[in-house]
Amino acid sequence: MVTVKTMKRWFTSLTVVAFILAAAIFNWSLLVSSKKPSDMEIAFVSDKAQHYSETGDEKLASTAQVPFPSMDVTNINTLDEALIKIQELEKRLKDIEYRIPKKYPEVKFLTFKDRKRILITGGAGFVGSHLVDRLMMEGHEVIVVDNFFTGRKRNVEHWIGHENFELIHHDIVNPLYIEADQVYHLASPASPPHYMYNPVKTIKTNTVGTINVLGLAKRVGARVLIASTSEVYGDPEVHPQTESYWGHVNPIGPRACYDEAKRVSETLAYSYHRQENVEVRVARIFNTYGPRMHMNDGRVVSNFILQALTGQDITIYGSGKQTRSFQYVSDLVDGLIKLQNSNYSLPVNLGNPEEHTITEFAMIIHKMVGGKSHIVNKDAVEDDPQRRKPDITRAKHVLGWEPSVSLQTGIEKTVRYFRKELMRSKHSERNLHIPVDVSNINV
Ligand code: NAD
Ligand code: UDP
Ligand code: UDP
């Protein structure tokens, strides 16, 4: 039987609960309306959104875009007020957990037999991070080793915490003892200003670092792919460059720290192969571009796009008659994976054979980006290779590989990425860029 007394007690309890709820909602709504998100909070959520859109996950990008309000925890005088605040904080934590997705792109499932442990040195760099994405999506276990000289955690952040992924902060000039089935040895600065910044370190990374990688491969029986370069051909006298050409390199010039060190890296690979039976693959990579390349690496693609986007002069070094052939990064990643898994152990050129003079390239970028930039000529840089175009007959023949992304499509994607990066640097000074002018580097 429900007595009047019991009903009164229920009524009182309900009133108290209703009052607490009303107070909580009122307090929360005041906080939401009065407190704007701080710049740091906006930067944080935008960073997340940028990441997911880079990896193509627009759904995750949009969930990460909503900034959340800050909480004012001053003016708490009573225990009840404190309890209410605690409840609000708990609710906010749940909101944050919900809004910062822990979801990873869905990777393919591979059985133990097919799944490989793949070590990528330099995996936080431009090329490395795209390779990480591809191999992770294929269902492999990926271990990135990087000293973050030119790479960034942000390039691989979207995989941190995934059970198949590991990021190790390590300088490959020092020995490394881990297990792997395959190694992609990409660790090395790649653009002229970066590799000329500390030439001795560039040499150590590509010689001592390569010895450590090959020593590791020898110990664990792994296959190693060395990221070599078209720079091994120097300023070539043979055009287009075939793998059988031995090159024309100045051993004491400003580029020698990179060119000669990469040549030694190749020599080491084949010496470990002959002497220690280490399985090696050598990719001679030609100029590559795409999203995640450094804004301020001083390379022609990044310089021209940035200059066009910001209305600065587009700077051609020398006459502009020198040529390059530009390959989009996804084509390179395809080629690297095909080469690693092929039966072919001699060097293979990976590049796009479509050749342009630098003046033509400046005009292409100027037209595609628009804007008011002027194209200007500056002093030539020392030992600048005058013609570069890969002969990819070997890659076609032994790998069944050839580039498929047109310059138009690749540049459009890269310009889109650079635009986003420029917007990002408005609220965070971190990515402030000053294009490096190689012609001013004293060598
Ligand atoms: P990148 O500078 O973006 O990446 C290189 C990565 O190596 C960075 O993450 C850097 O921090 C890391 N690294 C450098 N020294 C290291 C060390 N001692 N220990 C550990 N990590 C170290 O350059 P990228 O364009 O991605 O080039 C990757 C590889 O491809 C390089 O070996 C480069 O020589 C080769 N390559 C690139 C191009 C190109 O056009 N991008 C052309 C030819 C060859
Ligand atoms: N090394 C390494 N990780 C390994 C095995 C070797 O970093 O798992 C390094 C080792 O420190 C050595 C180098 O690789 O300096 C070359 O190894 P190798 O076995 O060829 O030479 P050795 O140790 O006989 O000098
Ligand atoms: N270059 C240029 N303006 C720039 C940057 C580069 O004219 O702002 C030229 C450079 O002199 C070279 C070509 O573009 O002839 C490619 O240079 P990059 O540094 O991209 O790569 P490289 O192929 O020389 O390693």
Spell out the SS3 assignment of the chain: CCCHHHHHHHHHHHHHHHHHHHHHHHHHHHHHHHCCCCHHHHHHHHHHHHHHHHCCCHHHHHHCCCCCCCCCCCCCCCHHHHHHHHHHHHHHHHHHHHHCCCCCCCCCCCCCCCCCEEEEECCCCHHHHHHHHHHHHCCCEEEEEECCCCCCHHHCHHHCCCCCEEEEECCCCCCCCCCCCEEEECCCCCCHHHHHHCHHHHHHHHHHHHHHHHHHHHHHCCEEEEEEEHHHHECCCCCCECCCCCCECCCCCCCHHHHHHHHHHHHHHHHHHHHHCCCEEEEEECCEECCCCCCCCCCHHHHHHHHHHCCCCEEEECCCCCEEECEEHHHHHHHHHHHHCCCCCCCEEECCCCEEEHHHHHHHHHHHHCCCCCEEEECCCCCCCCCCCECCHHHHHHHCCCCCCCHHHHHHHHHHHHHHHHHHHHHCHHHCCCCCCHHHCCC
**Whole-number pLDDT of residue 78:** 87
Query: What are 246's two structure tokens?
Result: 């031995």
Ligand showing the shortest atom-to-Cα distance for residue 215 = 2
Whether residue 91 is predicted with pLDDT greater than 50 in this model: the reply is yes
The residues near 167 (Cβ < 8 Å, ≥ 6 apart) are: 123, 124, 144, 146, 153, 156, 159, 160
Average pLDDT for the chain: 85
What atom of ligand 3 comes closest to residue 322's alpha carbon? 15
Mean pLDDT score, 177-201:
97
Report CA(173)–ligand 1 centroid distance (Å): 14
**What domains does the chain contain, in order, with CATH numbers?**
4-99 (no CATH), 117-432 (3.40.50.720)
What atom of ligand 2 comes closest to residue 220's alpha carbon? 8
Neighbours of 438 (CB within 10 A): 23
**Residue 283 · residue 401 · CB < 8 Å:** no
**Whole-number pLDDT of residue 209:** 98
**Whole-number pLDDT of residue 11:** 57
**Ligand 3 pocket, residue 294 CB under 6 Å:** no
The residue ranking higher by pLDDT, 103 or 364, is 364
Cα separation, 159 vs 144, in Å, equals 11
Positions marked active-site: 258
**Ligand 3 pocket, residue 381 CB under 6 Å:** yes
Q: Which range is least confidently modeled, 45-49, 81-85, 257-261, 329-333?
A: 45-49
Cα separation, 181 vs 119, in Å, equals 8
Whether residue 65 is predicted with pLDDT greater than 50 in this model: the reply is no
pLDDT band at 341 (very low <50, low <70, confident <90, very high): very high
**Ligand 3 pocket, residue 229 CB under 6 Å:** no
Percent of the chain with pLDDT over 90: 71
Ligand showing the shortest atom-to-Cα distance for residue 176 = 2
**Whole-number pLDDT of residue 28:** 52
Convert the pLDDT of each residue in 317-326 to its tens digit: 999 999 999 9
**Residue 295 · residue 194 · CB < 8 Å:** no
**Whole-number pLDDT of residue 42:** 40
**Residue 189 · residue 148 · CB < 8 Å:** no
**Whole-number pLDDT of residue 77:** 83
Phi, psi of 42, rounded to the nearest 5 degrees = -65, -45
Ligand showing the shortest atom-to-Cα distance for residue 300 = 3
**Whole-number pLDDT of residue 20:** 58
Report CA(440)–ligand 3 centroid distance (Å): 13
Mutate to test the pocket of ligand 2, among 119, 212, 272 (most ligand atoms within 8 A of CB): 212
Neighbours of 70 (CB within 10 A): 16
Convert the pLDDT of each residue in 13-59 to its tens digit: 565 555 555 555 545 544 444 444 444 344 434 444 444 444 444 43
Whether residue 98 is predicted with pLDDT greater than 90 in this model: the reply is no
**Ligand 1 pocket, residue 127 CB under 6 Å:** yes
**Whole-number pLDDT of residue 299:** 96
Whether residue 436 is predicted with pLDDT greater than 70 in this model: the reply is no
Whether residue 313 is predicted with pLDDT greater than 70 in this model: the reply is yes
**Whole-number pLDDT of residue 424:** 80
pLDDT band at 175 (very low <50, low <70, confident <90, very high): very high
Phi, psi of 382, rounded to the nearest 5 degrees = -65, 140
Mean pLDDT score, 355-383:
97
